Amino acid sequence: MTSTTFDLHNKRILVTGGAGFLGRQVVRQLCESGADPQKITVPRSHDLDLRKMENCQRAVDQQDVVVHLAAHVGGIGLNREKPAELFYDNLMMGTQLIHAAYEAGVQKFVCAGTICAYPKFTPVPFKEDDIWNGYPEETNAPYGVAKKALLVQLQSYRQQYGFDGIYLLPVNLYGPEDNFDPSSSHVIPALIRKVYEAQQAGAATLPVWGDGSPTREFLYVDDAARGITTALQHYSECEPVNLGTGYEISIRDLITLLCDLMEFKGEIVWETDKPNGQPRRCLDTQRAKEKFGFSAQVSFEEGLKKTIDWYRQNPQ
């Protein structure tokens, strides 16, 4: 584990996306790690559009740390519908924010990437060194390539300017307060909502996209936030780092587990004319453990139960 420690005490910290699903947990854990809540700034997109350079410059002014979590992101449906927006918005936000932070003398920049950046066919578990060995899965590619460009930018700014930027690759997140909007949600909230609504309607069947064969790995949001704050304090190198659990589950087994936990007795109907997405996703998590001592703590079933309980109390 890297011995260097970046002290958060009295640091002025900008958290883009800090009002979002992951961002709220990151802000909470920054405070628990010694940051002053009064010195954490969370810009809102309706007040500060980070696709514009002047807004990035305003956002980073007088800041010591930038944690860049803001993203235009969604599931397969959104990726197919708006590839151009996903590419442009994420590239513009990230690349201008990094440059503005460098020019403003920001001490540390933490960038959340995406495992959509990995090639479509990557040896499983995904190792960080394999990230350039092919083109991403087509439906994710515009988003994944835009976010991967930020890794190149941070590495080159470190090389030329000595700018301390780190790049983290969190796997699919889930947990209470996730986005359950069917038009843009990821797989776990989408399936929880689908099962809940089928139960409410007394449906005998449950249609699910694809054939159930793809595998995914999921990280509980509290674990992800802890990984990000730990890396901020204890990691300062150019190589990207995966944040995950190393636990792989098929979509077929996931929906079966959700139906069991939610006590849904209907029949699952696979819509095989709909896309599957990337065939397999599972991360090698050794680098995070070795470099800054991070490993996930919340078990998958425990995390699912907490997420289901939250949604049942807050159906959307």
What is the helix (H) or strand (E) element at residue 109, kind and residue range? strand 108-112
Distance of CA 275 to the CA centre of its chain: 21
Q: What is the mean pLDDT of residues 240-246?
A: 97
Residue 163 counted as an annotated binding residue: no
Take residue 83 and report the two structure tokens written for it: 């590839």
Question: Which of 213, 313, 204, 222 lies closest to 255 in space, CA to CA?
Answer: 213
The residue extents of the domains of the chain are 13-174+219-246+281-297
Indicate if 167 belongs to the active site.
no
pLDDT in tens, 3-47: 579 999 999 999 999 999 999 999 999 999 999 999 999 998 888
Residue 77 marked in a binding site: no
- The answer to the question of whether 19 is labelled as a binding residue is yes
Intra-chain end-to-end CA distance of the chain, in Å? 42
- Distance CA(245)–CA(215), nearest Å, equals 14
Least confident of 179-188, 265-274, 284-293: 179-188
DSSP 240-253: -EEES----EEHHH
Cβ within 8 Å of residue 271, ≥6 positions away: 207, 208, 209, 210
pLDDT value, residue 3: 53
Asked whether residue 171 is marked as a ligand-binding residue, the answer is yes
Residues 101-126: pLDDT tens digits? 999 999 999 999 999 899 988 899 99
Residue 310 in marked binding region = no
* Cβ pair 194, 85 in contact under 8 A: no
pTM: 0.92
Tell me the pLDDT tens digit for each residue of 133-172.
999 989 889 999 999 999 999 999 999 999 999 999 999 9
Residues forming beta bridges with residue 209, ordered by sequence position: 271
The residue annotated as part of the active site, out of 102, 118, 135, 143, is: 143
Residue recorded with tokens 């095989």: 272
Q: Which top CATH class is 13-174+219-246+281-297?
A: alpha beta
